Structures are given as structure tokens and as C-alpha cells.
Amino acid sequence: MLLGSLTLDNFGVYRGPQKVRFSTTKKSPITLIGGKNGTGKTSMLDSIPLCLYGSRARRILNGSSYPEYLNSMVHHGETTASITLEFERIEEGRKVPYVVERSWNRTTRGKSTDRLSVRIDGQARPDLVAVWPKFVEGVIPISVSDLTIFDGEKIASLADPSSSAEILRTSLYGLLGLDLVERLRSDLHDFRRRTAKAQDAQLAPQLAEKLTQAEKHLAKTRNESRLASQALADAESARTDLQSRLQKATDKLAIAGGNLLDQRDDLHRRLAEANASAISVDREMIQLAASDLPLTLVPNLLKQVAAAGEQSEASHLARQMRSAMALRDDRITGLLAAAFGFGQQEAELARDVLLTDLNSMEQPAKPTFSPSPECADAARSLLNLRSGELQKNAKRLTKRLDDLNSEIEHLEGVLAAVPDTDSVAPSVRQVATAEADLRAAEKSVERAKVDLDEAERRADQAQREFDAVAHEMLDAGVNDKNTARVAREVAAANEVLAEFAKHMIQKHLGRITNEINAALATLLRKQKLVSRVVINPDDLTVTLLNPQQESVDAQRLSAGERQMMATAVLWGLSRSTGMALPTVIDTPVGRLDRSHRKNLIRRYFPNASRQVVLLSTDEEIVGDHLQLLRPHIGFEQCLDFDETEGCTTVVMGYFDE
């Protein structure tokens, strides 16, 4: 199933026909619809199940009757409203277009009656209208729709450990069709109640009166449970509004620099430390500059000094050798004269021969200058060893000083942005008030949950008491074979249905859990903390396991990580349907931090299903996140609310772009 378009005509805040087109391409499966709070995103989300299921879409009614809800959704000043949904399905190998329209009129009685029309392949199909509730179950079952059409609040509720089991139970029962089994069991209870009431009161007048009182008490406790459930929904809605208010107040304070007030002392401390470190490094660099480091800048001169030193040493050695050889020649001449009786002439001749030989020896080049041996050794040392070490230290200190100067510049800039306390005092008070109100709302939600649990416990107890009296009433009429048969068969049927539900859960839970774990592996970053989940088939509680297969307390996860877990559960359940259905999400990342938002945008939204529709506020999918998602977006549209006219129109483009 692929959505083609949705037209809202005088529905909620939408005046006149407002049409939204949906991307159907595989390469760009996402349709991004932007809208600020109050511009009609929730109405648009609710319009899809309303168009498909009509009065059966009880999730959107919020306690109102269906006729009252329809009447309230007609745009102010108008008398008619309609929703038209166009989609296509593959049937017998070809695409078949559908157009479903649900329309109604505003009435003075405050209650409206809807009209449904269906066109397939351009042909009106009045024959399908009568059987539409059954037919649409083959298109997108109502029990599955909550897995593919939902808002951020559903993710938040599923992320709450106190409510996740019940939500998971509802989703699983819908996925496996066990909601029909539950309805059948409820119908059996009602049938047994009617059968018991039909017994002749004369047979057991006290039991008849007792049954009447038990029925009244049951109705009372059920109503209390319904009211408690509505009170919880109202408390959670109020909490959501306050969370949004706190976020806006916090953002406003951050823009004004108020979030830096608490960091001011720490910033001053870090700046002082950075300045002290910079002074210390500067001293080291001065000491290094006073050492031999400058000489490493003139390696050619160092080479000349080293060469001159070598030449000077060679010249000195040559002179020493020449002096030694001259002395040797004198001794040889004296020895020859003594041994052979040389006269003066012969002695002079021998001396000339030896002198000529001495002069014929190669003399080293005379150096242009003669450095001292110590100076030449120092030049060679700098060239061979110390030059690299000195330059390495110089680079290290230079980088350290650059880093410190950058840090000092950054800290000075941040400190310059810290406002004075008086200028942000109003924003600080707004944040403090919002935080206090949110804490009170959290307590109200917790109280409402306790009240609901207690109301449901009383209703369950009243149901058991009624069943017991009904059973007594039926036993009182055991002489009536039909009554006895009803009593036996209702009890037997209840046992069979309970066993059937248990068997279905055990049969399919492994496959569903695998899909959830596959989604979890894609979404959750902390694989070292949580590697997979296990779902208890008896109470459907979720247990988190680490790589060592040890249970992990969900409270160890951040709120964002728990919501990623909840998203993985919904994604896994949706994949378990085996149906190619669109995914429509309102306020998809409103409660996630930046890193988790990026994770969803990269890994979930482009792969959530064959077609994805995102209804985002101007604080969610924007900036870098929008750029990350853009390659996967086929259509971008925006809900433009006119405050003067009090109505919303659909325009192409995304917010101010």
C-alpha cells in the first residue's frame, strides 16, 4: 500500500480543500511535512485512521462519542467537512488506485453522521461501502495501524517501564489478531450475564437481587476505570505540554546565554589555569631560545665551522708531523756523518735529499678560519644529535602555546557571552517555574497511574464478583438443560480461548523478538550495554540483556536511549506484520537529544518502511539534521497557519525555505 495524497476539506484548522502529496519513489521514500505547534499536525495524523476506519478509530476520539467528534472537527464557520485519501495497492500484478472519501455535515444537535464513498480504478463502488469495515482489514488492519501511524507520545509511553508492558500487550494482541479473541471472551462474559439475568427470579430471588447489585457495581467500577484512564491521558497530555514549555524556556535562556551563568566560576577558573600554563610554556620557550636552538636555524654555517675545525686539526697534525720528521732527518744526517765520515759537503747533500722528500709530502689546505676544538665539537654535536631534539622541543612548546592561546580566546569569548544576572532573570524565572510545574505534572501522572491501577483492580474484582454471582444464578437453574449447557460451554470456551492466546503468543513471539532485536542492533549505539531483548510470554514484560546475557536495569539507560528502545520495538513489530505499509509519525524526534536524533535520521527514517511520512515541528528536523535527511526526501510541504484567519493552508517547501 502506498499513499498518494490526502485532502482535508474544512477539517479542524484546515479551511477549504488542502491537499498533501506523498512521495512514492523508492529512492526518496520520505515526505516531510513541517508545522509549528497548533498548526494541525495531529489533526492530519488522525485524519488517516478516521478516513479508513470511521467510528472504529477509537484512539482519536479522546472520550467523545463519534458523532460529537465529527461535529467538533468541522472548521469554524463552515457546515461541511470531508477527508479524501488516495492510495494504491498491487493486485494481480498491477497497481490499482483507490479513492476513499468520508464526509459529514455540522448539525445543530451537535452530532454528525458520516457518509463514505469508495472509488477503485476510477469506478464508484457502492457495493464495498456496506462491507468496508471488513474489506479495509485486508488493506491495513486496524489492529496494525497503531504500529505504523503514531506520534512521539506513543514512543514516550512505550519507553516508560511502568506502561510499556500494557502497550506492548495491546500491540502484540493487535498484531496477532488476539484482540478479536479478547473481544470474544468479553462477549462470552456478556452472554453469560444475559443468560444469568434471564433466569426466573422466582427460583432464586435473593440471587437475582444480588446479581442486579453486582451488575450495578460492575458498571460503576468500569466507569471509574474509564474516568481514571481519561484522567491519566489528560495528565500525560498536560505533562507533554509542560515539557514543550520547559524546552522553549530553556532554549530561550540558552540563546540569551543564561545557561552559562552556572558555569561562570568554572570558566574563570579554567581561564586562570590556561593563562598560568601559557606563562609557564612561554618561560620554557624563552629558556629554549637562550640555548643552542637559534644555531639550528643556520645548519650550513654549522657545517662550515665543523669543516674548518677538521681542517684546522689536520693542519695542526701536519705541522707536528713535519717537525718530528725534521728532527728525524737531523738525526739521520748525524748518524750518517758519524758512521761513514761524511764531510760537510756530503752531509749537506744528504740533508737536501731528505728535505726534498719532506717537502714533497701533500700539505693540508689552510682553513679560512681556525675554530677552537671545543667550538668544532659543539657544531658537530648540534648537527648530529641535539638539533633534532631541540627542534622537537620547540615544536612541542609552540603547539602547546597555540592550543593554550586558542583555549584562552575561546574561554574569553564564552565569558564575554555570559550575561549579567539581571538581564536574564526573567528567563531564569520562566525556566524555574516550568521545571516546578513539570515536577508537579510528573507527580500528577504518577498519582493518575496509581488511581488507574486501583480503579482497574476494583473493576477486575467487581467482574470476578459478578461472574461468581452469575455462576451461582446459573447453578440455580441447573434443572434447565439449556442453562446448564451454557454454563459449561462458556467456561470451556473461556479456557480454550485463553489457551489459544497463550499458544499464539508462544508460537510467534520468537520471530517478533528477532525482528525487534534486528531493529535494536540498527538503532541503539550502546551495544556493550544492551545486546538484545527478551519478552516474557506470560506477562509480556521486556528484559534487556547485555553481551554476557545478564539482565540490565532499564533505568541505567538514558531517557533518549529508552526511547530508541521503544522505537526499535515499534519498528520490529511493524516489520513482523509482513505487510508493506506506510509509516506516519507525528513529532518524531521531539524528546530526543541531538545524538539520538541523528541516529534516527540516519538509520531509521530512511528505512522505516517503503513509504515514510514525518510531521515535524520547527525545532526537530532542521539544520544539520535536515541536510542529513534531504537525500531521502521526495516531497517537502509546510503547514502555514494564519493567526488572523485562524486557519491552516498547505504550501510547498519546508518552513522558510
Number of neighbouring beta carbons within 10 Å of residue 425:
12
Distance CA 172, CA 166 (A): 10
For helices 387-417 and 264-289, the axis angle rounded to 10 degrees is 160
The DSSP code for 293 is G
pLDDT over threshold 60, residue 421: yes
Residue 26: burial class (beta carbons within 10 Å; 0-12, 13-18, 19+): exposed
Phi and psi angles of residue 346, each rounded to the nearest 5 degrees, phi first: -65, -40
In whole angstroms, give the CA distance from residue 112 to residue 19: 23
Distance CA 580, CA 140 (A): 9
In which band, very low, low, confident or very high, does the pLDDT at 161 lie, cut at 50, 70 and 90?
low
Q: Poorest-confidence range of 101-110, 171-180, 289-298, 311-320?
A: 289-298
The rounded Cα 305 to chain-centroid distance in angstroms is 67
Indicate the range of 159-163, 210-214, 554-558, 560-564 predicted with least confidence.
159-163
Structure confidence at residue 293 (pLDDT): 60
Residue scoring higher pLDDT (142 or 413): 142
Q: Among 79-83, 145-149, 512-516, 603-607, which range has the highest average pLDDT? A: 79-83
Cβ neighbours, 10 Å, residue 240: 18
Half-sphere CA count of 409, side-chain side, radius 13 A? 6
User: Going by C-beta distance under 8 Å and a sequence separation of 6 or more, which residues neighbour residue 578?
Assistant: none
H or E element, residue 554: none
Helix (H, G, I), strand (E, B) or coil at 85: strand
What is the structure's pLDDT at 479?
47
Nearest to 353 by CA among 339, 367, 333: 333
Measured distance CA(493)–CA(246) in Å, rounded: 52
Question: Model confidence over 422-431: pLDDT tens digits?
Answer: 666 777 778 7
Contact (Cβ atoms closer than 8 angstroms) between residue 567 and residue 607? no
Give tens-digit pLDDT for 208-230.
778 778 888 888 998 898 888 88
Q: Does pLDDT of 407 surpass 70? A: yes
Nearest residue to 3 (alpha-carbon basis) of 131, 126, 100: 100
Q: Which residues pair with 165 in a beta bridge?
A: none
Cα distances (Å, whole numbers) of residue 30 to 48, 89, 364, 437, 606:
17, 18, 87, 37, 7
Q: Are strands 612-616 and 17-21 parallel, antiparallel or unpaired?
A: unpaired
Handedness of CA 56, 60, 62, 67 (dihedral sign): negative
Q: How many H-runs (helices) and E-runs (strands) does the chain carry?
A: 19, 15
Read off the amino acid at residue 546.
Answer: N
| pLDDT at 15 (0 to 100) | 94
Closest among 398, 504, 641, 467 to 175, alpha carbons compared: 504
Asked if the model's pLDDT at residue 265 lies above 70, the reply is no
How far apart, in whole angstroms, are the C-alpha atoms of residue 48 and residue 368?
A: 98
Q: What is the pLDDT of residue 105?
A: 93
- One-letter amino acid for residue 346 of the chain: E
- The percentage of residues in the chain with a pLDDT greater than 70, rounded to a whole number, is 78
State yes or no: pLDDT of 320 exceeds 80.
no
pLDDT digits (tens, 9 = 90+) for 223-264: 898 888 888 878 877 887 787 777 777 777 766 666 566 676
Burial of 47 (0-12, 13-18, 19+ CB in 10 A): buried
Could you tell me which of 80, 2, 73, 79 has the C-alpha nearest to residue 44? 73
Cell of residue 551, nine digits: 539482565
Q: pLDDT tens digits for 361-403?
A: 655 556 666 666 676 666 666 666 555 676 777 788 888 888 8
Separation between Cα atoms, residue 423 and residue 443, nearest integer Å: 32
Gap between the Cα atoms of 118 and 136, Å rounded: 11
Buried b (16+ CB within 10 A) or exposed e, 405-422: eebbeebeebeeebbeee
Between 25-29, 288-292, 502-506, 510-514, the lowest mean confidence (pLDDT) is in 288-292
- CA separation, residue 539 to residues 166, 180, 271, 431, 505 (Å): 9, 19, 56, 40, 11
> Do 474 and 483 contact (CB within 8 A), yes or no?
yes
pLDDT of residue 325: 73
Residue 639: per-residue pLDDT: 94
Mean pLDDT across the chain: 81
pLDDT-derived band at 499 (thresholds 50, 70, 90) equals confident
The pLDDT tens digits of the residues spanning 350-363 come to 777 767 776 666 55
CA 74 to CA 104: how far, in whole Å?
8
pLDDT for residue 203: 52
Give the predicted TM-score (pTM) of the model.
0.61
**What is the spatial distance between Cα 635 and Cα 645, in angstroms, rounded to a whole number?**
27
Backbone angles phi, psi at 287, to 5 degrees: -65, -40
Q: How far apart are the two ends of the chain, measured CA to CA in Å?
A: 31
Q: Return the H-helix or E-strand segment holding 236.
A: helix 205-255
Residue 145, Cα to own-chain centre: how many angstroms? 23
- Residues 528 and 557: beta-carbon distance below 8 Å: no
Residue identified by cell 464495498 is: 128
The whole-angstrom separation of Cα 40 and Cα 617 is 11
Tally Cβ neighbours within 10 Å of residue 356: 9
- Of 656, 588, 572, give the one whose Cα is nearest residue 625: 588
Residue with cell 540558552: 254
Average pLDDT value for residue range 144-154: 83
Radius of gyration of the chain (CA): 45
pLDDT in tens, 338-349: 777 766 677 677
Question: At 119, is the pLDDT very low, low, confident or very high (cuts 50, 70, 90)?
Answer: very high
Domain extents in the chain: 213-257+420-471, 266-416
Q: Looking at residues 121-130, what average pLDDT do you find? A: 90
Query: How many whole angstroms separate alpha carbon 298 and alpha carbon 83?
Result: 85
pLDDT over 80 at 191, yes or no:
no
Q: How far is CA 420 from CA 264, 273, 398, 624, in A?
A: 11, 23, 36, 31
Q: What is the pLDDT of residues 592-611, one digit of tens each?
A: 766 678 888 888 999 999 99
pLDDT-above-90 percentage for the chain: 21
